Amino acid sequence: MTGIVLVTHNGLGEAIRHEAEHILGRAVNLTTVAVSYRADPESSLDELRAVMAASADVGGTVVLTDLPGATPHNLASRAAVEHGIPVVSGLNLPMLLKVINHVDEPADKLAGHACEGGQQGVVRK
């Protein structure tokens, strides 16, 4: 099993987790980290390092962030590179559901599923 960490702006990670649990009808094993725009970047970075280390499972850890280039993504990327953890940005509900449904795969493969799920969730009619 691979650990899942959501690093988002305040409230977003918990909200999307809640919706995934509602859809799946069960609790989801993942960790959320909310990064406030008022947060001290170095304190947040230390928290992320600890969370990533604690979330690592047999398959490693994958980190999903909400907005590329924003503070949560930038801090997550800094912490993840130290441990060789893949980071995927652009978090949406289809991405998270795809990751949850393939959580038995290793982190690198799970990151690919995250990209695939996120893209499949964007549809224009």
Domains plus CATH for the chain?
A: 3-120 (3.40.50.510)
pLDDT at residue number 55 = 83
Query: Quick one: residue 90, left, alpha or beta (phi over 0 = left, psi -120 to 50 = alpha)?
Result: left
CA gap 2, 68 in Å, rounded: 22
Task: Please report the pLDDT score of residue 106 as a whole number.
Answer: 95
Average pLDDT over residues 50-54: 88
Average pLDDT over residues 13-42: 93
The CA-atom distances, in angstroms, between 43 and each of 36, 46, 79, 80, 93 are 11, 5, 12, 15, 28
Q: What is the pLDDT of residue 42?
A: 84
Give the separation between CA 64 and CA 73, rounded to whole angstroms: 8
Give the model's pLDDT for residue 114.
98
Higher pLDDT, 53 or 23: 23
Q: Is a pLDDT exceeding 80 seen at residue 77?
A: yes
pTM greater than the 0.85 cutoff: yes
Q: What is the mean pLDDT of residues 79-106?
A: 95
Q: How many CB atoms lie within 10 A of CB 55?
A: 20
pLDDT of residue 82: 85
